[in-house]
Chains A and B, each alone.
Chain A
Amino acid sequence: MQEKFEPKIVGFLCRWCAYTGADLAGTSRIKYPPNINPIRVNCTGRVDPTLVLKALASGADGVLIGGCHPGDCHYTNGNIKTLRRFKLLQNMLDQFGIEKERVRLEWVSASEGERYARVVESMTEEIRNLGPLNWKRKEMEVIA
């Protein structure tokens, strides 16, 4: 029998909201699929689209960018700048033939542990249904 596919998701979480919210989910012992590898950044504004592409190219099946709700950004509006970049990134992913569900931008406040858990849960299930991305292998095949 084929082993159940466990999606690999990379999470870029801002330290003020989403990362703290993710910590809260754990502290509150809220359960969600352990399929996300969190990477802490000061602000989602630091998330260069290159980082997202790097994750997908290195074997990740999906990427979550988690920031503060609009208006709550610790650095005034880094999250809004990310939102703008994200729209362009989505177009680019589309051109690459990557399903847009694989890369998500979500607002999670420091008190929304439950919400963070549900975001990761729904994202994991969605990607599980899409199947592995295998971008790395595909890329190698093209080169070969």
Chain B
Amino acid sequence: MPEKIGVYVCHCGTNIARTVDCKSVAEYASHLPNVAVARDYQYMCSDPGQEMIKKDIHELGLNRVVVASCSPLMHESTFRRAVSSAGVNPFLFQMANIREQCSWITENRELATNRAKAIIAGAVTRVSFNEPLEIKKVPVNPDVLIVGGGITGIEAGLQIADSGRKVWLVEKEPSIGGYMARFDKTFPTLDCAACILTPKMVSVGQHENIELLTYSDVIDFSGYVGNFTAKIRKRPRYVDEEKCNGCGQCEQKCPLSVPSEFDCNLGKRKAIYRPFPQAVPGTPVIDREHCLYFTKGACRVCEKFCPRGAIDFEQKERIVEVPVGTAIIATGFDVFDASRVKEYGYGRLPNVITSLEFERLTHASGPTAGKILLRNGKPPETVAIIHCVGSRDHNYNEYCSRVCCMYSLKTAHLVHEKTDAKVYEFYIDMRAFGKGYEEFYKRLLEEDVTFVRGRVAEVSEVAQNPSEKGKLVVVAEDTLLGIVRRIPVDMVILSLGLEPRKDALEVAHTFSISRSRDGFFLEKHPKLAPVSTAADGIFVAGTCQGPKDIPDSVAQGGAAAANVLSLIDRKEVELEPSIAIIDENVCSGCKICLGLCPYHAITFDEEKSVAVLTAALCKGCGVCVAACPSGAIEQQNFTNSQLLAEVEAVSA
């Protein structure tokens, strides 16, 4: 059958048409070999645009189609569906990207138009060599992996589990709850964080569809959408979760106290401990680093007092392999390390504390039982809150951490409520953008908090006059008054920004997902696919994707759950057929490809002395194709003839 190609040049409103002369490009395309029709149109992706293609397929008998418009990442699937519905195999369609990589990059209309012509010539030449391909469908394993047991992972887990699907929830720490479990109140409603979080934690712990793996991490993740295998390492707690009933005897009897990480090292915990009383699961862990039995070889007091014989010093780490169909990454954030900002004196000046430390101080079950106290045990008379520590700063992170303005207001409110202290807030801009946020800011303005607009230059203990003696002096330019102010205070609270977790790169590698420039995980599209990633079947939610407050994190957890459930309910997924195929008649049996394949998809048939490819394992990177000295391997939809034709056409 002779090739009859239809070429459609999209204006994309003015997005393309402004710098590319679409009419002349279409006119040019109409003279390319095998082109039966070439048209230009306002919006090819619109219904009339797609109808135009279908109509031409029916009336003119087109058997191949090229659409020159946006990036294939945007609309390739749209047009593949359109041609397919008109009876043309979707792989006989080729997209030419003349927007993202042509019209948007220059103001030079002549050059852009020439470039568009070359790109289209490449696509038209290539499409003649395209072959019809079958899309393989594979079943979706309905089990879901969720990494991270903070509020986002909890929300996603409960949504999915409630629908009757099985969830494997993996948490690194001994308990789920994440950062939210450490907060006292939440803005702007001043809800008690524990009161709204712990019921959800308990639901997770008791849910028949949730398999909770705490003190664990995912060490390997392989497979493809619908059919992944997660390898999870469960570290030993040295306490049998089946036998333990969480009575807490062991914690009481343990003779060794060490600083509690959960309390930012402000309080103490035992060597066998639960990070906090409402921990889920309630089973404690033995901290091997400190436990006297592990360090000195003697003690075992916990073992003696445990009424259920749950202590097991011989417990070993376990590797669990779990088949799942989809995964949600909700690994959260790290707070900025305040000691990096030397001029604020954190770590050097004892009464300079971080916002997270403040959360623990003001928390009823924290180290001071909710009292806001200086290191000397006295309540402060004046408190300064410094915004944007580690955020909106070229030296650290350029982005705004989004939550600090609001939690700083909450901090001010709590200080005001619990002490008689005078509160100063130093801010750059006040960002109160959410529901009820601006109203909360108004409320604080009326609560007698002094707001100083300006970035703090320094926190100093050097007094310049008697009123500053024994105080911390906050030096800042008040940009509204245009003067430099020195305000003596007793306590400085640094409002820390949010950062990607230290192990974000490792996690990105494990799951083959990308990170944006700021180090957070990269979503597929910032607006239209905020929880999807470039890797099908793997979703991101919450603060691992970027700073967010609790409402937004919960919303994303729910969004990721909906995405996952939609995939599961489809029951099958389509796989890109761009895999390699080996022609055994051409293969010389040199075995070069065997060592190159990262998925061990190629094996060697000793009898025939040829390489054999297992299609289900091939992911379509094409490494073997480029390496085969005999030209025996081809990659479907990226064959040598397709690529060579495209290269020749765009180079001419």
Contact = CB atoms under 8 A, between A and B. Distances in A.
B635 to A, nearest CB: 7
B105 A75 contact: no
A75 B619 contact: yes
Interface string A58-100: 1110000000000110111110010001000000000000000
Given A31-B105, A45-B621, A48-B626, A37 B112 contact: no
A41 to B, nearest CB: 6
Nearest to A24: B100
Contacts of B622: 41-43, 45-46, 78
A104 interface: no
B513 to A, nearest CB: 9
Looking at chain B's contact residues, is the secondary structure mostly helix, strand, loop, or mixed?
helix
Contacts of B106: 31-34
A81 B515 CA distance: 22
Contact of A34 (B111, B620, B644): B111
A22 interface: yes
Q: Which of A31, A38, A58 neighbours the largest number of chain B CB atoms within 10 Å of its CB?
A: A38
B73 interface: yes
Interface residues of A, number: 55
Q: Could you say which interface size class chain B belongs to?
A: 35 or more
Contact of A8 (B101, B509, B512, B651): B651
B111 A39 contact: no
Contacts of B71: 23, 26
A117 interface: yes
Interface stretch (B114-122, B159-167, B420-428, B477-485): B114-122
Contact of A75 (B108, B578, B621, B635): B621
A22 B623 CA distance: 22
A112 interface: yes
Interface in B494-545: 505, 508-509, 512, 514-517, 522, 534-535
Nearest to A43: B621
8 contacts: A10-B650, A22-B100, A23-B73, A38-B101, A42-B578, A46-B625, A55-B651, A71-B509
B208 interface: no
A111 B108 CA distance: 25
Interface in B95-116: 97, 99-108, 111-112, 114-115
A20 B534 contact: yes
Contacts of B184: none
Contacts of A22: 100-101
Given A39-B643, A71-B509, A58 B648 contact: yes
Interface string B587-601: 000000000101000
Nearest to B628: A48
Nearest to A48: B626
Nearest to B515: A111
A102 B430 CA distance: 51
A81 B623 CA distance: 8
B651 A74 contact: no
Contact of A46 (B100, B103, B638, B651): B638
Given A34-B112, A41-B622, A75-B619, A117 B105 contact: yes
B72 A40 contact: yes
Contacts of A29: 104-105
